[in-house]
Structure 1
């Protein structure tokens, strides 16, 4: 109780003090009265029972003297008018029982065989008394009486009364103390509440104000005018308010200084961290990029040397061309990944949504990834649903996702491993595509970071895998653009890994209009204008197109192309953007202004592949946009898809 009293409020302490004082006084009084009552009660019982024994002894003396037990029993029988006396007896001079009495139905112990010493005694919750019977100064017998001694009943009854009186007194004292202590505790409680609010909210504008001639907790904005108080407690409240005002002014000044310092430190630290991180990432990226670009450049140079030194060996030249084609595709893939990274960082990576079928997407992905998988000696198993599964998305991008996952599995699986590509449609109506391998696996700590840009599962110098560490990041972003998810799972290093792509499935498949498949334009010959300042590239493409029967005119700058275009009247114009003298955008606008070139299809060929570059090309009048390096298959596909151009044979 003392610990609670020390930790409680002033109000509670005052009330507790008043109640404790009252309770102590009541308890002392109650104990004193109880002791006095019990002592008086016991003495009254002794006096009453002794008097009864004396009366019985007086009236029974003749019966004992004349040896008349019947008269003695009659005298004892008169005790029935006193129900408290349960048992009685008269003993003869020799100590034998002369007459006896017991209350009807009472549970009484046997009578003592011999009388005890004269006087009262308490035995087993009963009060007994022995009194001598005197006749002519001679003791002729003894009277024995036994009565109920209800001391405990008296104690409980009296204690109950005292308890009720004590509780009522304490309740009344609590009410009176509560009313009296308010004049003291109310202003103190107001100060306490304001102090607690200031500590919790750090708001030094709070104040204790005067209201209805009594203080209570309240607050008003700093600078408000509160009444000055009289008395000791009023002086305490005024001093407390003045202290809060001064602390508030100093705290505001200190807080403003700290905020200014924190902002300056945060800006400096953020700039320092950004510079360090950017520098480290730049070094890591440049080192990785240099390494990955040197890998295909070495076989390309070796292939050129083979073709130069062994030009007379067709088989060696054919093998060299195969190696060069594969390495060139690797370089193109690296450049495409870098362009996609740029689009992701600028938020301009978009997809074309159209109805597509799962088997076609998987076939495109396998066409891209199978050569690398076969070169690694892996066993590839494909398990697809037997029926068609229709999706809404970009065929090229989804094939890129699956080919990235397959290449990733092949890259991080030792030679002769096993790769499984499986797909099924779940009960929730979503497609699950899994690419699983038994390769090096992923450490548990890497699962959360494996999809970050430039992060690779095997970053050691001894790794045999290639890549910039952007494939998985690109794959996840492309899947998310299709409203799907890409997740990785692995039991640990050396236990393989599983990548799961989840995509929504089309519930209703729209009927697509049938379009004839484009050919290779082998049956039609066109007039083609090639404009590029890279002479090796444009001359090589021009010579290849001439071998296919097309009429080709090559220019290496913008003014030369503009001067030759009207007289040449090309069906197709492949224009580089970064041309000397006149850039590709201005050249396209100028060509569109020539009436004779109204049916010319213009295609932009550039190393810039962001969406803004495509938009600029279309605004300038281009109808297609190709990103370097451009393959002859892309040019032939554009020629094959053209149905409105005029062939040379028709002119």
Structure 2
């Protein structure tokens, strides 16, 4: 610790001396004011007494008009050098006798003032009445020097000397007493400096002081111990934080990659949705321009239907992924046969494979293989894999689907001789929005959701899926493994799938899309059915009450009355119980299906609706009514 003005020692001494100085100044000022007041009162009392004495000895001279005697009485004032001048006035106010110690004649008052005293600069003036037997004979006037400044200087010198001596003693005492405070503080400072330089928190301040300083030293040593413990904990926390930062960095990189894939997906989605729209638009132009050409009309219809199925497939895949991600996806497990699943899958993708000119090879077990799963979703898995194989295989390629049973496990392989998969991509092809071919020259981009959806559907069935490839340009193979049911299938009564009743039905159509409902109505009328078409809810309810339909195909988003309310209204009609209600809507979530069934619908169809679906409902009336009942 340096002994400078900034040190604790110097500050303690300065504090002690300053405190003493303030105390002495306060006491000195108080004593000086008291002394001046006492000095003033003393001079007033003294001069008033002198005037009273002079009045007493001068009264006979005034009574006998003896001015010389009065003059002699005033001359006695020479013994008081502080009294500068004096005078005696008659009762009439004329000067009777005078006295002065000055060499020149002073300025006597023309007339005496009121009895009492006044201060004029540094002089004291006193007027005192001369009264004899109750009669006013005259007035005594005295003027004296009032040496207040001299008194202040003398008293100030004395106080100054006392203060200097007191301050010197206070500084000496403080310099001795400060050592009991500064020595422990100096030790604390030295230890603190050494800790900062060496980062050694095991150092301690020596000594066993008492009082507040001892408490300070003990607290400082305890603080060093606590800092040491926290420093050790901080080092461990830093190591943990570094590890977490690395994990977070990897997570951020994954998020950035996912964001890039999302952007690519959105761009691809726009591309994939526009692709079917172009041939659909062309087909509409063909139908408008060459409406009389049956062959051209059929070709345009085939193109539009194929592209429409492609768009529906894209939307269905997106909805399925969304349902799985939100936990709202449910599969209806049951006993299904492998060949039926394969046939359903081929029905979806066969036209697409043939469009690309691929050779399709199917190799299935001879005996029936039964699975426990959702037939629709299992077919969707295979159709996604076959569609993916056809998409990434150059025109005229080869696509194969083979299956074999090994120890209660069904292994299905979908292989192709297409563009293949790079080794570094094999672990990522099942991730959302990942696409093997990301070049602008690709002819079939895809959304990057098909394989991800297939994997999730396989996992929901308790199976596994993996990808393999010999490299770029050497084709790829996807292997699905699913558990099988080996027990024999229970016999069931078969229902003809293509059965169409010969009788005609009364059919009510309600939809605000005029083109759609009119075209469906025309087709149904051509088949011999009796059809009533309405475009809002109230008209549909009125028609149902009058028409008593066997079937009612109702849009949910109708003007003036929702399809749900319309269904409830039809059910309340006398003939409402025999009407089979079908919801035709663009809302396809599970909750939308549940709302439709709660409102009284027997069936739920998601737009766009193919006429074959309507035909299937008409051909299975008894089956649907049984399910509803």
TM-score normalised by the chain length of structure 1: 0.57
The C-alpha deviation readout for 1:260-317, integer Å capped at 9, x for no partner, is 9xx9x99x99999999778755543332122111111111111121222222322222
Q: Helix, strand or coil for the counterpart of 1:448?
A: coil
- Tell me whether 1:527 sits opposite 2:506 in the alignment: yes
TM-aligned CA deviation for residue 537 of structure 1: 1.0
CA contact 1:599–1:645 (8 Å) conserved in 2: no
The C-alpha deviation readout for 1:487-530, integer Å capped at 9, x for no partner, is 11112111110000111110213414213224443412111111
The C-alpha deviation readout for 1:371-421, integer Å capped at 9, x for no partner, is 221221222211111111111112222111111111111111111212221
Q: Which residue of 2 aligns with 1:432?
A: 411
The C-alpha deviation readout for 1:411-435, integer Å capped at 9, x for no partner, is 1111121222111001x22000001
TM-aligned CA deviation for residue 590 of structure 1: 2.2
Alpha-carbon distance in structure 1 between the residues aligned to 2:389 and 2:444: 10
Alpha-carbon distance in structure 1 between the residues aligned to 2:234 and 2:372: 61
Alpha-carbon distance in structure 1 between the residues aligned to 2:278 and 2:470: 37
Equivalent of 1:383 in 343, 363, 382: 363
- Tell me whether 1:498 sits opposite 2:477 in the alignment: yes
Aligned pairs for 1:410-425 within 5 A: 410-425=390-405
Q: Helix, strand or coil for the counterpart of 1:505?
A: strand
- Assess, with a 3 A threshold, how the Cα gap between structure 1 residues 274 and 469 changes in structure 2: closer, same or farther: closer
TM-aligned CA deviation for residue 570 of structure 1: 1.1
- Tell me whether 1:583 sits opposite 2:562 in the alignment: yes
- Assess, with a 3 A threshold, how the Cα gap between structure 1 residues 401 and 250 changes in structure 2: closer, same or farther: closer
CA contact 2:437–2:445 (8 Å) conserved in 1: no
TM-aligned CA deviation for residue 559 of structure 1: 2.2
Alpha-carbon distance in structure 1 between the residues aligned to 2:409 and 2:255: 43
How many residue pairs end up in the alignment?
408
Equivalent of 2:306 in 326, 329, 349: 326
- Tell me whether 1:623 sits opposite 2:602 in the alignment: yes
Q: Which residue of 2 aligns with 1:546?
A: 525
Q: Helix, strand or coil for the counterpart of 2:578?
A: coil
CA contact 2:432–2:448 (8 Å) conserved in 1: yes
- Assess, with a 3 A threshold, how the Cα gap between structure 1 residues 248 and 561 changes in structure 2: closer, same or farther: farther
Equivalent of 1:563 in 542, 547, 565: 542
Alpha-carbon distance in structure 2 between the residues aligned to 1:431 and 1:523: 43
Q: Which residue of 2 aligns with 1:290?
A: 270
CA contact 2:369–2:486 (8 Å) conserved in 1: no
Alpha-carbon distance in structure 1 between the residues aligned to 2:489 and 2:462: 19
Alpha-carbon distance in structure 2 between the residues aligned to 1:420 and 1:308: 41
CA contact 2:418–2:474 (8 Å) conserved in 1: yes
Alpha-carbon distance in structure 2 between the residues aligned to 1:577 and 1:275: 39
Unpaired runs of at least 5, structure 2: 1-200, 202-216
CA contact 1:522–1:548 (8 Å) conserved in 2: no
Alpha-carbon distance in structure 2 between the residues aligned to 1:252 and 1:568: 84
Q: Helix, strand or coil for the counterpart of 2:601?
A: coil
Alpha-carbon distance in structure 2 between the residues aligned to 1:470 and 1:279: 15
TM-aligned CA deviation for residue 244 of structure 1: 3.0
Q: Helix, strand or coil for the counterpart of 1:608?
A: coil
Whose radius of gyration is greater, 1 or 2? Answer: 2
Alpha-carbon distance in structure 2 between the residues aligned to 1:274 and 1:500: 27
Q: Which residue of 2 aligns with 1:509?
A: 488
Q: Which residue of 1 aligns with 2:464?
A: 485
The C-alpha deviation readout for 1:448-502, integer Å capped at 9, x for no partner, is 1111122111111100114212111111111112111111111211111000011
- Assess, with a 3 A threshold, how the Cα gap between structure 1 residues 281 and 439 changes in structure 2: closer, same or farther: closer
- Assess, with a 3 A threshold, how the Cα gap between structure 1 residues 562 and 494 changes in structure 2: closer, same or farther: same
Alpha-carbon distance in structure 2 between the residues aligned to 1:566 and 1:558: 13
TM-score normalised by the chain length of structure 2: 0.59
- Tell me whether 1:243 sits opposite 2:205 in the alignment: no
Q: Which residue of 2 aligns with 1:405?
A: 385
CA contact 1:424–1:433 (8 Å) conserved in 2: yes
- Assess, with a 3 A threshold, how the Cα gap between structure 1 residues 248 and 282 changes in structure 2: closer, same or farther: same
Alpha-carbon distance in structure 1 between the residues aligned to 2:597 and 2:608: 20
- Assess, with a 3 A threshold, how the Cα gap between structure 1 residues 526 and 491 changes in structure 2: closer, same or farther: same
Q: Which residue of 2 aligns with 1:192?
A: none
CA contact 1:417–1:438 (8 Å) conserved in 2: yes
The C-alpha deviation readout for 1:22-68, integer Å capped at 9, x for no partner, is xxxxxxxxxxxxxxxxxxxxxxxxxxxxxxxxxxxxxxxxxxxxxxx
Q: CA RMSD in A?
A: 3.6
- Assess, with a 3 A threshold, how the Cα gap between structure 1 residues 242 and 302 changes in structure 2: closer, same or farther: closer
Q: Which residue of 1 aligns with 2:344?
A: 364
CA contact 1:531–1:574 (8 Å) conserved in 2: yes
Alpha-carbon distance in structure 2 between the residues aligned to 1:246 and 1:457: 56
